[in-house]
Amino acid sequence: MDKRPLLNVKSLKEQVYEYLREQMRTGVLRPGSVIDMEETSSRLGVSKTPLRDALLLLETEGFVSILPRRKIIVNPLTLQNIKDFYEILGALEATALIAARGRLGAAELTLMEALNAEMKQAIDLNDFDLYYEKNLAFHNIFLSLSGNVYLKKTVNTLKKRLYDFPRQQGFVREWEQASIGEHSALIDCLRRGNVREAVEQIRDVHWSFAVQEKFIVRYYALAHPAG
Cis peptide preceding 31, ω within 30 of 0: no
The contacts of residue 137 (CB under 8 Å, 6+ apart) are: 115
Number of folded domains that form the chain: 2
Same-domain pairing of 127 and 54: no
Distance between CA atoms of 138 and 50, rounded to whole angstroms?
34
The CATH number of residue 84's host domain is 1.20.120.530
Predicted pLDDT of residue 68: 86
Is residue 2 assigned to a domain? no
Same-domain pairing of 116 and 155: yes
Which among 74, 92, 113 is the end of a domain?
74
Same-domain pairing of 48 and 117: no
Q: Are 185 and 201 in contact (CB under 8 A)?
A: yes
Same-domain pairing of 101 and 162: yes
Same-domain pairing of 44 and 87: no
pTM recorded for the entire structure: 0.89
Is residue 5 assigned to a domain? no
pLDDT in tens, 166-213: 777 677 999 999 999 999 999 999 999 999 999 999 999 999 999 999
Is residue 155 assigned to a domain? yes
Q: Are 22 and 14 in contact (CB under 8 A)?
A: no
Most distant CA pair in the chain: distance in Å? 66
Is residue 195 assigned to a domain? yes
Which among 25, 59, 74 is the end of a domain?
74
Strand pairing partners for 35? Answer: 72
Parallel, antiparallel or unpaired: strands 64-67 and 34-35: unpaired
Is residue 215 assigned to a domain? yes
What are the pLDDT tens digits along the chain (227 aa)? 455 666 554 589 999 999 999 999 988 999 999 999 999 999 999 999 999 999 999 999 999 999 987 789 999 999 999 999 999 999 999 999 999 999 999 999 999 999 999 999 999 999 988 999 999 999 999 999 999 999 999 999 999 999 887 777 677 999 999 999 999 999 999 999 999 999 999 999 999 999 999 999 999 885 554 43
Predicted pLDDT of residue 226: 42
User: What are the DSSP calls for 44-113, one per residue?
Assistant: HT--HHHHHHHHHHHHHTTSEEEETTTEEEEPP--HHHHHHHHHHHHHHHHHHHHHHTTT--HHHHHHHH
108-143 per-residue burial string, b: 16 or more CB within 10 A, e: under 16: bbeebeebbebbeebbeeeebeebbebbbebbebbb
Same-domain pairing of 118 and 152: yes
The CATH number of residue 46's host domain is 1.10.10.10
Which among 47, 74, 101 is the end of a domain?
74
Is residue 3 assigned to a domain? no
Distance between CA atoms of 208 and 162, rounded to whole angstroms?
14
Give residue 212's domain range: 79-223
Compute the 3-state secondary structure of the chain and give helix, strand, coil in percent, each to the nearest 5.
Answer: 70, 5, 25
